[in-house]
Amino acid sequence: MSHTYEAVKDFDQQDPLAMYRNEFYLPENRIYLDGNSLGLLSKRAEQSLLGMIEAWKEHGIDGWTTSVHPWFYLSEKLGNEMAPLVGADAGEVIVTGSTTVNLHQLAATFYEPNGKRTKILADELNFPSDIYALKSQLMLKGVDPESHLIQVKSDDGHTLNEDDIIRAMTDEIALIVLPGVLYRSGQILDMELLAKEACKRGIPIGFDLCHSIGSIPHSLTDWDVDFAFWCNYKHLNGGPGATAGLYVNKRHFGKLPGLAGWFSSNKEKQFDMEHEFTHADDAGAYQIGTPNIFSLAPLIGSLSMFKEIGMEKIRAKSLKLTGYLMELIQEELNGHGFILRNPIDDEKRGGHIFLEHPEAARICKALKADGVIPDFRAQNGIRLAPVALYNTFEEVWKTVQILKAIMNEEKYKQFENKRGVVA
């Protein structure tokens, strides 16, 4: 791609998704490249949230059954609308809980130690909360996490090798939990291959899709993945603390949830008020408590855009944006000490790039001061996520020029090389 400013403007004029930028509230005079941590608010999401408040105002308790989007069925409705984003069939997805609560539910359901199969297989690069949850589940089963949580090592500290993961699928493993896209480097794991190899060995396998849903296409059901879980506030733009999601393959329908709750119930039986539990016969069984209606509401508007566009077009633009960003970094920032730690190949790269630099915390602060919103990851990582729905090639070009000026003029030296409380 040409690196001139005029050519960049042409790229944006030819962009088939350009119209969707106007759907979002964009920070004034800033370039927002942190959509892999928190997506921006769209006008559709705002309207669906305001509409839900009006429904409460108008219907009161009858909103559970008589509002435009009846609350009693909203988690299931949104789950079916979200299903195409992960390649799932009807009933296999439910919008519920939070990422870690959903992992606890799924681990409590699928981790069934028996005989010598007592260990959980994970990796050393996953997001910390997943590891906390898995260690908790091991302790609840009365086994030592130090010996029973196996974490596949990384050769380079940034990426994982699928062959290493497969070799670790021994006859001692009772459950496998891995990221779909690594949160730091943005590496996409070969979920299809890993699910196939786990199935051969009779080991249930699940994936954390927090950094992949809304960013890359999936085919969970075709890949025969057992379960998955994710947040909806990153690429899906559901808002801070948005209700999360989970997937359970339909061949497991009827399996008793490890953590039963009020909304795990079969909806026809839920209000019979019996103490004998009758669970739903689809992914709805893995809900626990009453859905957070106002945290579900923004997804009504947000998901409508994904339905209109389709993941293939979103992925195509995302790859062009991250590819162009890498080209510019390698050409314009050569000699400034940056190392690209994300995969270069399209089929292995998620929706963000990861730059390593010993002054990363200071550089992130300098970028913010100059109008670019990046994401810092300890110890020395800068994540930049140009999102297909609202970022432009012009913004990518400007970001690299701003970063080049920061390095040439050593602007970062006026800041402390230390992360903020929230990074």
Dmax (CA) of the chain: 70
Considering the domain architecture, whether residues 98 and 154 belong to the same structural domain is answered as yes
| Position 68 in a domain | yes
Give me the pLDDT at residue 1, please. Answer: 62
| Position 119 in a domain | yes
Q: How confident is the chain (423 residues) per 10-residue block, as mean pLDDT?
A: 78 95 96 98 98 97 95 98 98 98 98 97 97 98 97 97 98 98 98 98 98 98 98 98 98 97 93 93 96 98 98 98 97 96 97 97 97 94 98 97 97 87 65
Considering the domain architecture, whether residues 91 and 235 belong to the same structural domain is answered as yes
* 25 part of the active site: no
Considering the domain architecture, whether residues 123 and 218 belong to the same structural domain is answered as yes
Considering the domain architecture, whether residues 172 and 281 belong to the same structural domain is answered as yes
Give the count of alpha carbons within 13 A of 171, CB side only: 2
Domain encompassing residue 12: 5-32+310-414
Which burial class, exposed, middle or buried, applies to 24 when counting CB atoms under 10 A from its CB (0-12, 13-18, 19+)?
A: buried
* 383 part of the active site: yes
pLDDT in tens, 340-365: 999 999 999 999 999 999 999 999 99
Answer whether 302's CB lies under 8 Å from 389's CB: no
| CATH number, domain with residue 226 | 3.40.640.10
Answer whether 238's CB lies under 8 Å from 210's CB: no
Considering the domain architecture, whether residues 286 and 372 belong to the same structural domain is answered as no
Give me the pLDDT at residue 89, please. Answer: 98
Answer whether 329's CB lies under 8 Å from 3's CB: no
Closest CA to 381 of 339, 422, 416, 330: 339
Answer whether 348's CB lies under 8 Å from 152's CB: no
| Position 40 in a domain | no
Please tell me which residue in 73, 127, 277, 294 is annotated as part of the active site: 127
Total tally of structural domains belonging to the chain: 2
The reply to whether omega before 270 is within 30° of 0 (cis) is no
Considering the domain architecture, whether residues 367 and 242 belong to the same structural domain is answered as no
Considering the domain architecture, whether residues 148 and 266 belong to the same structural domain is answered as yes
Considering the domain architecture, whether residues 13 and 52 belong to the same structural domain is answered as no
| Position 423 in a domain | no
* 110 part of the active site: no
The mean pLDDT of the chain is: 96
* 306 part of the active site: no
Please tell me which residue in 207, 233, 247, 286 is annotated as part of the active site: 233
Considering the domain architecture, whether residues 80 and 174 belong to the same structural domain is answered as yes
| Position 38 in a domain | no
Considering the domain architecture, whether residues 287 and 320 belong to the same structural domain is answered as no
User: Whole-structure pTM over 0.75, yes or no?
Assistant: yes
Please tell me which residue in 123, 208, 226, 375 is annotated as part of the active site: 208
| Position 421 in a domain | no
Give me the pLDDT at residue 279, please. Answer: 96
Considering the domain architecture, whether residues 229 and 376 belong to the same structural domain is answered as no
Domain end (from 260, 288, 308): 308
- Give me the torsion for CA of 316, 367, 182, 140, rounded to 10°: -140
Domain end (from 308, 329, 351): 308
How many Å from the N-terminal Cα to the C-terminal Cα in the chain?
A: 32
Phi-psi region of 214 (alpha: psi -120 to 50; beta: other; left: phi over 0): left
Supply 314's token pair.
Answer: 């979103």
| Position 252 in a domain | yes
Query: What are the binding residues for pyridoxal 5'-phosphate?
Result: 99-100, 127-130, 208, 211, 233, 262, 290
Q: CB count, 10 Å around CB of 53?
A: 12
Answer whether 377's CB lies under 8 Å from 352's CB: no
Closest CA to 234 of 185, 289, 299: 299
pLDDT in tens, 43-92: 999 999 999 999 999 999 999 999 999 999 999 999 999 999 999 999 99
Q: CB count, 10 Å around CB of 385?
A: 29
| CATH number, domain with residue 356 | 3.90.1150.10
* 127 part of the active site: yes
| Position 420 in a domain | no
Considering the domain architecture, whether residues 95 and 197 belong to the same structural domain is answered as yes
Please tell me which residue in 44, 317, 320, 383 is annotated as part of the active site: 383
Please tell me which residue in 44, 119, 184, 234 is annotated as part of the active site: 234
**Angle at the Cα of 200 from the Cα atoms of 199 and 206, rounded to 5 degrees:** 20
- SS3 for the chain is CCCCHHHHHHHHHCCCCHHHHHHECCCCCCEECECCCCCCCEHHHHHHHHHHHHHHHHHHHHHHHHCCCCHHHHHHHHHHHHHHHHCCCCCCEEECCCHHHHHHHHHHHHCCCECCECEEEEECCCCHHHHHHHHHHHHHCCCCHHHHEEEECCCCCCCCCHHHHHHCCCCCEEEEEEECECCCCCEECCHHHHHHHHHHCCCCEEEECCCCCCCCCCCHHHHCCCEEEECCCCCCCCCCCCCCEEEECHHHCCCCCCCCCHHHECCCCHHHCCCCCCECCCHHHHCCCCCCHHHHHHHHHHHHHHHHHCHHHHHHHHHHHHHHHHHHHHHHCCCCCCEECCCCCHHHECCCEEEECCCHHHHHHHHHHCCEECEEECCCEEEEECCCCCCCHHHHHHHHHHHHHHHHCCHHHHCCCCCCCCC
Domain end (from 255, 281, 308): 308
